[in-house]
Structure 1
Amino acid sequence: MPAYNSVFNADPHQPRLVGNFPLMPLRTKVRGPVYALPFPDTPLPAGESPDEDSESYDILDEVLQKFRANTFFRNFEIQGPADRLLIYGIWFVSDCLAKIKPSAGVRDATKDVTNLALDLNFALPGDPAWPLNQMYEPPRDRQDAEILRQYMSQVRQELATRLLARVYEEDGDGKPSKWWLSFTKRKFMGKGL
């Protein structure tokens, strides 16, 4: 059975690429180099995503939706640029879940995950610390590298916010969801950030 690829690979409006990493629009209030998608007309609870047909549905909704199923796969066939962002998002979610302790309250987990998301000292494609350099092209120049770093920082911050809303939404007891934390030891494709 193959892994779940991104539905955004079939999008006729191809995003701008830096190397071969896509800069896709996001539904976010975090400032960054891409335009923001509109929020749904009817506000959704923090832990829910809009329907796939909605113009508000973005790649980060898909990362969270496909995270648990895709973490079981050791191989992943990249079928388009959106898959590269999907892979990165899954790796980042794994890192965030590793920061959340089973006994941690919302406040402590938010602090730890937010610090991880705001840390600007992370590897870019082409850096020696990047996990899959053979599948990712490095940025063309320093300006592209800076744009990519800003975009990845925007993705990290928004993904951390959405993940925390899901991990702590269930019964309101202040404990993280055991269903999410059960994936802390899994490594998608046997790699991590």
Structure 2
Amino acid sequence: MPAYNSDFNSDPNPPRLIGNFPLLPLRTKTRGPAYVLPFPSPPLPAHESPEIESESYDILDEVLRLFRANTFFRNFEIKGPADRLLVYGIWFVSDCLQKIKPNASARDAGKEVNNLALDLNFAIPGDPGFPLNQMYEPPRDRQDAEQLKLYMAQVRQELASRLLARVYEEDESKPSKWWLSFTKRKFMGKSL
């Protein structure tokens, strides 16, 4: 059985690419270069995603929806640019879950995960420390590299806040054991 690919690969409006990494629109309040999608009306709780058909549904909702299913796969066939962002998002969510201790409150976990998300010392495609550089093209120039880094930082911050809302959906004093059960799994045997 193959891993689940992104539904955004079939989007009729091709995304802007830096290298071959897509800059897809996001539903976010975090500052950055991404085109901002409208928020659902009426507003949803932080731990819920809009329906897939909704104009508010974005790639980060898909990352969180497919994370648990895709973490079991060691191989992943890239079928479009959105898959590259999906893979990166799954790796980042995995790193975030490793920062959450089984007895940590939402506040303590928030500090750890947000520190990871806000840390600007991370590798982008083309950097020697980036996993699977053979699947990602490096940015053309320094300006594109800066734009990509800003976009990836925006993705990391938004993913961190959405993940925390889901992990602490039921109880703010302890994380969901169901989410933490995936801390030992490495998608494609790699991590960021």
Is TM-score (shorter-chain normalized) higher than 0.5? Answer: yes
Stretches of structure 2 that go unaligned for 5 or more consecutive residues are none
CA distance in 2, matches of 1:175, 1:59: 27
CA distance in 2, matches of 1:30, 1:14: 23
Q: Which residue of 1 aligns with 2:185?
A: 186
Q: Which residue of 1 aligns with 2:176?
A: 177
8 A Cα contact 2:94 2:186, kept in partner: yes
Q: Which residue of 1 aligns with 2:30?
A: 30
What amino acid maps onto 1:177 in structure 2? S
Stretches of structure 1 that go unaligned for 5 or more consecutive residues are none
CA distance in 2, matches of 1:146, 1:24: 16
**Per the alignment, in what secondary structure is the counterpart of residue 22 of structure 2?**
strand
Aligned length: 192
What amino acid maps onto 1:48 in structure 2? E
Q: Cα deviation per residue 1:75-108 (whole Å; 9 max; x = unaligned)?
A: 0000000000000000000000000000100110
CA distance in 1, matches of 2:16, 2:46: 29
What is the percentage of aligned positions where both structures have the same residue?
A: 80
CA shift, 1:173, in A, is: 5.1
- How do 1:1-193 residues align onto structure 2 when only pairs under 5 Å count? 1-170=1-170, 172=171, 174-193=173-192
Would you identify which runs of 4 or more consecutive aligned residues in structure 1 move more than 4 Å? none
8 A Cα contact 2:106 2:172, kept in partner: no
Q: Cα deviation per residue 1:123-155 (whole Å; 9 max; x = unaligned)?
A: 010111010010000000000000000000000
Q: Cα deviation per residue 1:22-61 (whole Å; 9 max; x = unaligned)?
A: 0000000001112100000111111000000000000000
CA distance in 2, matches of 1:138, 1:122: 14
